[in-house]
Chain A
Amino acid sequence: MKTVIEGSHAVSYGVMLSRVQVIAAYPITPQTHIVERLSELCASGELPARFLKVESEHSAMASCIGASAVGARAFTASSSQGIALMHELLHWASGARLPIVMANVNRALAAPWNIWCDQIDSLSQRDTGWLQFYCESSQEALDTVLQSFKISERVLLPSMVVLDAFYLSHTYEPVDIPDRERVDKFLPPYEPKFKIDPKDPKSFSSMTAPDIFTEMRYQMQQSMEQAKSVILEVDEEYQRLFGRGYRMIEAYRCEDAEVVLVTTGTVTSTSREVIDHYREEGKAIGLLKIRTFRPFPSEDVRKKLKGISKIAVIDRNISFGVGGIFAEELRSALCNEDERPMVFSFIAGLGGRDITQETIANVIEYTLEQDQPKEDILWPDLKR
């Protein structure tokens, strides 16, 4: 049965159903509701976890690292400046091969202050060795939390479940909260192969010399590669048990498309309607939703975009000096293909500006009209 809940709380319930043992958190808008509800669930005893109130996001991640290192299932949530403050520990968590799961609610980074939706906080952490999933709906956020623990614990890399600020975090939607018993079947307790145990003292993550450092990094990359198949396996199992699956990417009405719009997060939902509208008018426009950003689904993207001549990528972020990060990743995935689409890169919706159906239509119209983009970076909602 579906329940109408806030997007943040969908994450909280996902965490509760995952039987997380340690939650360490520091509040930051727009993430706070996630851990607020978790603290209530801990206080009421519904979630028998240790809830650690810490003095910073740095300490939150440090606590999760400690908890995970002794074999506990650990979770935290953050946003924006909080994620930025965690940065060095994000590297540590992945390097120490700890399957921590974190929810990140996408928010712009200061200066100037801005609390609204922007993907730069999580995308700035793309090289930290974390898996990243961008969610379109509250349901997907809940399901992705459950899947992430399973995936992370198999590949020994941490996962970030990413939600759009306010559009998702503060919006109420009907969400199916799965049965505890079925979740328990899907996600058994974490049994670490390596953990800190005072009865068997060992040294962890100590100085590792050049003679094996390369191999350890190679192993991490291998795990990222392995994650691609694990994500699909876990998603298929989830689909069987709960009737919902998401894959790494989703192609929507892409058959014979003249232009394929590429989106992430909640813009995808808005775009679906715009695509339907174009299709009704007989125009062949498709949509590609990218859900998994790390590992980047290069093979899937290449397959789905084979034969497509133009793609319009909407990035709610900007890497200064280059452009939209998703567009960049797509270019890089496609550049060695003989037949590859022309990549139109649009920056829109920064710092919480609404990406309306009109904006999306403008993006599509421009891409239809032009053989190739007039500029490397296009700004469809810029006030000129």
Chain B
Amino acid sequence: MKQKITFKRLQDIPPVAISMGMMLWNKTGTWRYLRPKYTVKTPPCNEACPAGNDIEGFMALVTEGKLQEAWELIKEENPFPGVCGRVCFHPCESSCNRREYDEALSIQAVERLIADSHFKMKRQKHPPKLQRKERIAVIGSGPAGLTCSYHLARMGYGVTVFESYSSPGGILRIGIPEYRLSKSVLDHEISEIQSWGVEIKTNAHIGKDVAFEDLKKYRAIFIATGAHRSRSLNIEGERLEGVVAGLEFLRRIHMGEKVTPGERVVVIGGGNVAVDVARSAWRLGAKKIQMVCLESKDRMPAFPEDIAETEAEGILVLPSAMPLRITPDLGKVKKLEFIRAKLGEPKPDGSLNPIPIPGTEFSLEADSVITAIGEVPDLSFLPEDVSIKKGFIEADEMGFVHPEGYFGGGDAIHPYHTVAGAIGSGKRAALAIHEYLQGGWSREKFRIIQVGQKGTISVKKYFHPPEGETNPPVVLFKDIKTDYFEHQPRVGISKLSIDERVNSFREIHSGLGQEEAKEEANRCFNCGVCNGCDNCWIYCPDLAVKRKNDRYEIDYDYCKGCGICFEECPRSAILLEEEGR
């Protein structure tokens, strides 16, 4: 104390027991043995997103109505918000902590709204700040190839993409039916990528139109040719007229060819391509469509919500059956024979191991048969020195391929079978190529740019490493103070009725309105990230939490370390550590 005040007379004493001087000299922070600290943790959605989107970040921007900023934030990681907002299998929603409270956030729908609102905005040109002299060749313009190209272009590299088909997009264009992803959305996002200076050469099939040797003038080659070869059934009658591979069927539709599957269609397979095929056939006028697969219904690889939609469209799913033979009628397919089967332990190579149940044979009649039992890469165009293992290009987690200068991504290196997975691998390869060309790659760098523990990475983190912990822990539901959140169901998404879908490839789902998206984003817990909710500021009994630039800082001169801010932070964005004294 600076001076001792002695009361001599009654009238000197104030009626209220109050200190007579300033008390700021009394630095009560010295009493502290626990120290609260603002932190940024990893939201589980961000960890779950294979494309590495900062989902929590764009949700926070949407609540403020900042759609342009939200779009830019997504584009730092992922050039395809419009595509992912429609076709992603949204593992983010399965990981959403809100799921344990009421319902997961409708993340995909919000992402779509962000992308769709950008379509209406004025187009911007994005010349990269830095023009590097190195040029990179990318084989394949699917989600992996274009994502890699996009990030390389943003880093200033010259990129040429070689696409065998007449228009770019790979599986996005020829594999995903329009009722799930409209061509205009794809065109928009590809043209966005091109605006960064990415050159796309179409009708440039490596090994046919362009010699692989010609690519050697590029400083690096990224191979992302996908998995476009349909696996064969290896049964009698597979070569008959009227039997077609699933991807080929979808490709013909996309190329505008006249496709007439007939009245009765049998689809063999239980994955996403099989579902897309069956639903496309239905839209082309097939009356009776039956999907037959080896797996039991709960083990079908297609996404459950898509299976439900398939059945809603009147398509019959026949699980646990194995095709035996296809018999002709005037050279065209007529009859298919099946036997019921259950799945045994997978074979050593990981493939399905059906065990037929004797005496359960049955047959179906069909005008056409479409097979979709899996797609594998066609790597016949590659020179022999590129190492291949079990049908895939052998690549490490960043996409490095032997020999030096080669990189791989997408379904050509790993059976991702998801757009987001391909986008993630394209991103990793872009950074791998950059590091390779700049001459300094290390495992440590990979560790730093990871988001959580599921292998997803952040380009933003690579260029702007965060202060403090590089890969902080993921926030669990138990870390959320749910008292601060009201129960609210997730936003409903309207879709076309079954009647409206007949004979039409119109997009089934409609997007959210801006207000709906804002309301949905307001449901976000913002796990582990301060959103300026003021709780710490309100509760601090020592007024030691100060507001600073919409966020807060702690005045450690007066923070006694009571931990109330830590306890009352709804989203676990404050740590409480032992004081290091």
Chain A nearest CB from B337 CB (Å) reads: 71
Contact A219 B22 (CB under 8 A): no
Residue B463 interfacial (CB < 8 Å): no
Give which listed residue, A96, A198, A203, A212, contacts B13 with CB less than 8 A: A212
Contact B24 A201 (CB under 8 A): yes
A204 to B17, CA, bound (A): 6
Residues of B within 8 A of A203 (CB): 18-19, 23, 26
Residues of A within 8 A of B331 (CB): none
Give which listed residue, B13, B19, B24, B543, contacts A216 with CB less than 8 A: B13
Contact B10 A202 (CB under 8 A): no
Contact B19 A206 (CB under 8 A): yes
Give which listed residue, B7, B13, B15, B17, contacts A206 with CB less than 8 A: B17
Contact with A along B1-39 (1 / 0, CB 8 A): 000000100100111111100111010000000000000
Chain A nearest CB from B473 CB (Å) reads: 33
Contact A96 B23 (CB under 8 A): no
Contact A219 B13 (CB under 8 A): yes
Given contacts A97-B16, A202-B18, A206-B19, contact A215 B543 (CB under 8 A): no
Q: How many A-B residue pairs have CB under 8 A?
A: 49
Contact B17 A219 (CB under 8 A): no
Chain B nearest CB from A120 CB (Å) reads: 31
Contact A219 B15 (CB under 8 A): yes
Chain A nearest CB from B36 CB (Å) reads: 19
Chain B nearest CB from A237 CB (Å) reads: 23
Residues of B within 8 A of A147 (CB): none
Residues of A within 8 A of B14 (CB): 194
Chain A nearest CB from B215 CB (Å) reads: 68
Chain A nearest CB from B246 CB (Å) reads: 60
A200 to B19, CA, bound (A): 11
A95 to B15, CA, bound (A): 9
A327 to B323, CA, bound (A): 102
Residues of B within 8 A of A96 (CB): 16-17
Contact A202 B17 (CB under 8 A): no
Chain B nearest CB from A63 CB (Å) reads: 13
Contact B10 A215 (CB under 8 A): yes
Contact B13 A215 (CB under 8 A): yes
Contact B19 A202 (CB under 8 A): yes
A32 to B479, CA, bound (A): 37
Residues of A within 8 A of B24 (CB): 201
Contact B15 A202 (CB under 8 A): no
Contact with B along A196-210 (1 / 0, CB 8 A): 001011111110100
Give which listed residue, B10, B15, B19, contacts A156 with CB less than 8 A: B15
Chain A nearest CB from B166 CB (Å) reads: 65
Interface centre among B14, B16, B18, B22 (most CB of A within 10 A): B16
- Which of chain A's residues has its CB closest to B23's CB? A203
Residues of A within 8 A of B543 (CB): 198, 201
Given contacts A194-B16, A194-B18, contact A201 B10 (CB under 8 A): no
Contact with B along A312-333 (1 / 0, CB 8 A): 0000000000000000000000
Chain B nearest CB from A286 CB (Å) reads: 39
A204 to B18, CA, bound (A): 5
Given contacts A215-B10, A218-B10, contact A156 B22 (CB under 8 A): no
Could you pull out 26 A-B pairs where Cβ atoms are within 8 angstroms?
A95-B17, A96-B17, A97-B16, A156-B15, A194-B14, A194-B15, A194-B16, A194-B18, A200-B22, A201-B23, A201-B24, A201-B543, A202-B19, A202-B23, A203-B26, A204-B18, A205-B16, A206-B19, A211-B7, A212-B7, A215-B10, A215-B13, A216-B13, A216-B15, A216-B17, A223-B15
Interface residues of A (CB under 8 A from B): 95-97, 156, 193-194, 198, 200-206, 208, 211-212, 215-216, 218-219, 223
Given A205-B16, A215-B10, 4 further pairs, Cβ under 8 A: A194-B16, A202-B18, A204-B17, A219-B15
